[in-house]
């Protein structure tokens, strides 16, 4: 038996993203979204979430390429003068692992992001991290520890099975296979903390390009167990998306979710 859920990342990044997520939930198949609590449009996202109480909302933890919650003076080794995390994943990973002063600041920022989510008065459905930085064992451990204090019960383990991708026509490389093995570290951390996760996750290899055809392929080849497919929908382009994700097909991903919703409606009518 298999089951699948659909989640959107970057809720709060911009109003175009927020509008896309709201439409994908109201008119399509989207069930959950992950909120960037310090995002430019986080307040707008929270208002939309409260107007759509059936949308499950979690924390999209940002510790790379995005804004922090704490002021730069409190976390000077993490962010620049504008309060932005840098984009260099390897350099950040080394700092987070080897430098105690950096780890203390990181711990404070992660807790502050969970506290900011709690202040929205939304129910915390899940947590994951921007660019999957919670696969870093230090970040993953801190996210779980801080999250438990705020009622965290589920996280995303971005384990994308290479065999399924191969059946969908995408040949996984050695890096994809190594990453899939590495996700076992996060899964063990979650289990030890008593936090649930889906068994499989899709959206890494086709990040930003989860078109209707690719979703169709995935749904036809889902493995047994619980799967999550995550998306980056938006109602249109804006300068922020053009700068951060110039190649992403945000509108095509929204169209895929809307199409899934229409297909589900047809199936319901036929079932009745």
Q: Which domain holds residue 251?
A: 2-271
CATH of the domain at 224: 3.20.20.370
Q: What ranges make up the beta strands (E) of 122-224?
A: 127-129, 200-202
Give tens-digit pLDDT for 32-91: 999 999 999 999 999 999 999 999 999 999 999 999 999 999 999 999 999 999 999 999
Among candidate residues 251, 42, 56, 85, the one with its CA nearest the CA of residue 153: 56
Among 116, 110, 186, 202, smallest CA distance to 147 is for 110
Average pLDDT for residues 203-214, to the nearest whole number?
A: 96
- pLDDT band per the 50, 70, 90 thresholds, residue 272: very low
How many separate domains does the chain show? 1
- CA dist 141 and 120 (Å) reads 24
Please enumerate in sequence order all residues whose Cβ is within 8 A of that of 154, keeping only pairs 6 or more positions apart, or say none.
Answer: 58, 125, 126, 127, 195, 196, 197
Closest by Cα among 18, 24, 7 to 155: 7
Specify which residues 202 forms β-bridges with.
229
264 — pLDDT class (breaks 50, 70, 90): low
Instruction: Show Cβ contacts of residue 197 under 8 Å, excluding neighbours closer than 6 positions.
Output: 154, 155, 156, 157, 187, 190
User: DSSP labels for 245-268?
Assistant: -TT--HHHHHHHHHHHHHHHHHHH
């Amino acid at each position: 038996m298999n089951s699948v859920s659909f989640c959107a990342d970057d809720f709060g990044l911009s109003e175009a993203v927020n509008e896309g997520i709201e439409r994908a939930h109201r008119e399509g198949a989207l069930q959950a979204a992950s909120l960037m609590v310090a995002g430019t449009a986080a307040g707008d996202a929270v208002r939309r979430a409260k107007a759509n109480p059936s949308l499950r909302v979690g924390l999209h933890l940002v510790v790379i390429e995005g804004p922090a919650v704490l002021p730069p003076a409190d976390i000077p080794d993490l962010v620049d003068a504008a309060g932005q995390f840098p984009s260099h994943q390897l350099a950040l990973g080394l700092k987070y692992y080897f430098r105690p002063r950096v780890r203390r600041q990181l711990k404070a920022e992660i807790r502050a992001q969970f506290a900011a989510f709690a202040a929205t008065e939304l129910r915390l459905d899940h947590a994951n991290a921007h660019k999957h930085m919670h696969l870093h064992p230090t970040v993953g451990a801190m996210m779980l520890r801080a999250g438990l204090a705020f009622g965290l019960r589920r996280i995303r383990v971005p384990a994308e099975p290479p065999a399924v991708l191969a059946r969908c026509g995408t040949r996984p490389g050695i890096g994809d296979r190594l990453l899939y093995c590495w996700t076992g570290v996060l899964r063990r951390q979650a289990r030890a903390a008593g936090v649930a996760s889906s068994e499989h996750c899709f959206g890494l290899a086709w990040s930003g390009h989860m078109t209707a055809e690719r979703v169709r392929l995935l749904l036809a080849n889902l493995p047994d167990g619980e799967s999550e497919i995550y998306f980056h929908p938006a109602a249109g382009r804006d300068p922020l998306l053009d700068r951060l994700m110039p190649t992403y097909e945000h509108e095509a991903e929204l169209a895929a979710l809307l199409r899934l919703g229409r297909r589900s409606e047809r199936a319901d009518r036929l079932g009745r």
